[in-house]
Structures are given as structure tokens and as C-alpha cells.
Amino acid sequence: MQVLSVASEVYPLVKTGGLADVAGALPLALKSHGVSVKTLMPGYPAVMRVIEDPKVIYSFESLLGAKADLLSVHHQGLDLLVLDSPTFFDRPGGPYADATGKDHFDNWRRFAALSKAGAMIAQGILARGASEGQDEGWRPDVVHVHDWQAAMVPAYMRYSRAPEIPTLITIHNIAFQGQYGADIFPYLEMPPHAYGIEGVEYFGGVGYLKAGLQTSWAISTVSPSYAEEILTPEFGMGLEGLLNLRQGDLHGIVNGIDADVWDPAKDHSVKAHYTAATLKSRADNKKAVAERFGLDQDDGPLFCVISRLTWQKGMDMLAACTDELVAQGARLAVLGSGDKALENAFHTAAARHPGRVKVLSVYDEPLSHLMQAGSDAIVIPSRFEPCGLTQLYGLRYGCVPVVARTGGLNDTVIDASHAALAAKAATGIAFGPITTDNLRRALRRAVKLYHEPKIWTALQKQGMKSDVSWEKSAGLYADLYKTLLAKKGS
């Protein structure tokens, strides 16, 4: 089976969040299920600098008004189609925002161009345009798009002469929807009737994610719990009505992680390798984390945060708990940036508690690996969390997750209740309802359990036994693709 995946970021080439991890790892995991994936992504400067031996396989004279080349690239096991358009993507800053953090003014056009290119590939431009090489005659059996940046692919396919090809859209975070004014519609190169409730129109404007949810054959999201939550006004962010209408086409498939990249027995970013049988070796990593953050070296618990510092992630609640956490003899290492007020709250806490709290507001992938390998617990108090990956990394590394009961956190972490501890099934500490007081109680419970070494070690070992790889979830995606293909033939 041939699948075209379309994503705005793909690890290890470019990453701002979990979307990149999924877009990079899922194609590799699908290979063992007989699914071959080509991934279409933008040619950002960070991408163009590292790809090797790109081959131009198609040229767009005008893709929403700009020239672009489609490059075939092989990179670390991934088959990539890189959309090289300097007009859209060759600029300073990140994928979505400039160096000041302000969204690029033409994001609507940039990602519409990505989507239109994806739809044209589905229409068969590679089959018609390639003159030689392995891409000649290539056309996908299924198109799988990710989040609002690629959500217009199925809309372009519906409103064009594309062949009947099944489409799947995955929601990684419904809070980000790609909403723009109606004034952009004339420039999208879609027929007039596409601007309607059955198409791209959304509350008098253009909604990219809405358009994808409306026009895709099927919808998935990144955990079973989140699939249920987004049907409600609290979590649906205005799209719950449409999602309820399409509930029969909605699937919750929990994310996995690349178990080869995230493996404490061979991770090159950690100080000391270890397994569930050699947990004592984690002590060297714990010491290294404390040194890197300038924290005291002692026998108390070391909590970590690896996150965007935002309200969604519950970081305001954690900031309010730092004084009590320190009073209990714990230390806190924070890696992340985000809302300036929240960054300041943690920096202020660090100033109050030198040697006990430290914040590094940088992106440092190797350091995040070391933190998982050396911290005793990772705190993830998100108010909503579609899936979450850091708790999966924590489970894999024996870094006990302290999580809110929501979305994928609820699906992947088993709370250390008396019953779960007795059954030797517990893998972390979960709390709800999601309030500051309940987070405070969960942290107290974590500190108490840490001082019971047999129980804490059991939590770590049970977490490390959890299957957090992509194998099972990739199989579910492969089955979903087959179901969609069967619908095509019916």
C-alpha cells in the first residue's frame, strides 16, 4: 500500500512539537505492516541545509502565485517529498513564526500551497510528470494529512478533478485551527461553491482544520480519550458540532515513540546507560542533570518539566506549587519556554530557591533525553493533552510521570492507587479534577512514594515494561487505511 503523508514538520529535520515526532516515526513503523509512505513537507532553510542528493521530480510554474520544485529526498530511512519554494519557505525564524515570535503574515498562503501540492500529487502529477527514476508512475492509495497546516489537502481534492482516493486527517491539537478572513478565499484557487458550510467556510471566514474535517473520508486523533473529549464544548473548541456529526468516522489512536531513538540502554545523550535491571546506574544521570541545571546534589527527589510554558500545559498551577515542593526537599529542573509571564514566574521561583529550582528557556533535544534518564519524575499537569509524548518517554526511561487525568495522559499512565500498586500495575501518579490543589496533593504523594524505595522502584520498572512503541498503533493505522480502501471499492 502506498500512502502520501502531508505534514508541516518532520523529525529529525524540523520540530516544534509532537506533530514532528509522529510524522517522522509513524512512516518507519508502518513499513513492517506493508505500508510504504512518502511524506510531503515544506523546504524550510533548516531542511534545505541538511538534505543530501535532492532530485527535482516536478516543477510548479505557479503554485498559488509562486514557483516551486518538488524534491525527492531520502533521509534517515524516510522517503520525503520536499516542497522547495523560496517565496514561501526561505525566510528567517521558525516554521510558523518569525524571530520575534509573530506569525508569518502569509501562513494562510504558505500552507494552502503545501496542501494544493499534496492534492496535485494525489491527482497524479508524479505519474504524469516524472520521466525517470523510482517516482515515475507513483500515486498514493491513501492520503494522510496532519493538523491545520495540511488540512486543505482533502478540500482541494474534493473540489478538483482528483481521482477518488481515501483521505484521513489526524488532529494533533484542535486548539490550532488555521482560521482566516473570507478575503483570502479568492486567492486559494478553489471554485466558488467551495466557500460554503459543506466546504471551507467557517463562521464567515475560512477554516483550514474545519475544511479538512468536513472533506476527509475519516478523522483520527492521537488518543481514545481525546477522541471523546473533543465531542464536548469544553474541548471541541467550536468544532464539536461537526465532530459529533462525523462521530462514526472519528478514531482515537494513541501515539507511540521511536523506541530506537528513545532507549536508555543505548541513548548517546545520557551519561550512563541502563535497563530496568540496572536502575542504580540512573544515579550518574541524576547527578549530571543537577550539574547541568546548577542544582544541589542530594538524595531528595528531582522533578523535571520538559514543556511549553503555557496555560494549556498547566504551568501556572505548577509555578504556584514550587515553594511547597522545595519545602518537601525536592528539586525542580524546567526546560522550556512560552508565555513570558509564566517564564518569569519560574525564574522568580528559581531566584527564591537557588540550588533547588532552575529554568532553562531553550530548545535542547539531547538535554531532554538526559533529563528523562536522570530525573526521578516528570510533571505534566496539562489542562488538556491530546496525547502527549513526554510521559511516554518518561515511562520508557523510568522517570515516573505525574500527570493530569486528561486525553492521552489518562490513556497511558496508570495511577499508583492502592489497588494498582497491589496488582503491580501502577506506572505513575495521576490526578483530577485538574486544579492547583489536586496537583499539589499529587506532588506530595509523589514525594511520599519516592521515600518508599521498593514502591518507587516498582513504579519505574512497571513503566519501563509498558509498550510505548509505535508497533501496535501503526498496526491500527494500517488497518484504518485498509478499511478506507475497502470503502473505495464498495
pTM, two decimal places:
0.92
How would you classify residue 237: left for phi > 0, otherwise alpha for psi between -120 and 50, otherwise beta? left
Which pLDDT score is estimated for 132?
A: 46
Res 440 pLDDT > 60: yes
Q: What is the pLDDT of residue 490?
A: 66
DSSP 172-194: S-TT---EE-GGGGGGS---GGG
Tell whether the model's pLDDT for residue 483 goes beyond 60. yes
List pLDDT tens digits, range 376-422. Answer: 999 999 999 999 999 999 999 999 999 999 999 999 999 999 999 99
Mean pLDDT, to the nearest integer, of 237-248? 97
Neighbours of 334 (CB within 10 A): 28
pLDDT digit string, tens, across residues 196-220: 999 999 999 999 999 999 999 999 9
Residue 338's CB is within 10 A of a number of other CB atoms, namely: 16
Is the CATH number 3.40.50.300 carried by domain 276-465?
no
- Report the C-alpha gap between 331 and 60 in whole angstroms: 55
Half-sphere exposure of 132 (CA within 13 A, CB side): 1
Average pLDDT of span 258-279: 96
Q: Does domain 2-256+471-489 have CATH number 3.90.190.20?
A: no
In this prediction, residues 443-471 reach a mean pLDDT of: 97
Same fold, 2-256+471-489 and 276-465: yes
**pLDDT of res. 163:** 73
- Which tens digit of pLDDT belongs to each residue from 297-334? 999 999 999 999 999 999 999 999 999 999 999 999 99
Average confidence score pLDDT of the chain: 96
All three cell numbers of 131, joined, read: 520521466
- Which helix (H) or strand (E) covers residue 145, if one does? strand 142-146
Give the pLDDT mean for 18-26: 95
Going by C-alpha positions, the residue among 215, 221, 257 that lies closest to residue 394 is 257
Listed by start position, the domains of the chain span 2-256+471-489, 276-465
In the predicted model, is pLDDT for residue 360 greater than 60?
A: yes
| CA contacts within 13 A on the Cβ side of 250 | 23
Percentage of the chain with pLDDT > 70? 98
Average pLDDT over residues 56-60: 97
Average pLDDT over residues 433-453: 98
Q: What is the mean predicted confidence (pLDDT) over 98-121?
A: 96
Task: Quote the radius of gyration of the chain (alpha carbons, Å).
Answer: 23
As a whole number, mean pLDDT of residues 226-249 equals: 97
Quickly state the pLDDT bin for 162 (edges 50, 70, 90): low
Q: What DSSP element (H or E) covers 171?
A: strand 167-171
Distance CA 57, CA 76 (A): 20
Report helix, strand or coil for 292: helix
Q: Tell me the pLDDT band of 128, cut-offs 50, 70 and 90.
A: low
Residue 404 pairs in a beta bridge with 431
